[in-house]
Structure 1
Amino acid sequence: MSYSALHLTLVDLVLLFLLLEVAVFSIVLRRRLRFRQRLALTATLGSGAAFALAVRLAMSDASFLLLGLCFLASLGFHLLDLAVRLRKGAPEP
């Protein structure tokens, strides 16, 4: 396996574990977390997934449009996370 293929495989594993995290959190913590906590958790995991996908696309020489869309999605998730956390009285996730 070449060096760059190993990196792509590692990024794919990171994306797979992020999806598994979302599945486990949605099943196990569905009733325990409040809406704001679920929204903050979704925003945090979404920003990480969008950034990891952007890294994967950059390593595979994808188009700059797709790369920009992934970074834009990551920014959107980060802004959502900030909005939830900075809202007055918001609980810590």
Structure 2
Amino acid sequence: MIVRIMGEGQWNLADSHFAELNKLDDELLAEMEGGDEAGFRRTLGALLDSVRRLGTALPDDALEPSELILPTPDASLEEVREMLSDDGLIPG
């Protein structure tokens, strides 16, 4: 699956890594619902770091369709809230 981090680029991520990402996504959703700004910042950073660590970065000139789009590391809680679906940032 191709994952885009807004403002950074795209990573190709194996489906086998989505269990780890979904766990972080669930934590992020709970922190957002609870208004935990510090927890939100920490978990958003961990989620994005996991994509970078587990995925293979695509070249900057690659323009593959992204199946999943994640916010920038400095996105506000409100900006991320607008991106959420019922399942969080990561469906499933």
TM bucket, shorter chain: 0.3 to 0.5
Q: Tell me the TM-score normalised to structure 2 length.
A: 0.40
**Greater relative contact order structure (CA < 8 Å, 6+ sep):** 2
Q: Tell me the TM-score normalised to structure 1 length.
A: 0.39
Q: Larger helix proportion, structure 1 or 2?
A: 1
Q: Larger strand proportion, structure 1 or 2?
A: 2
Larger Rg: 1
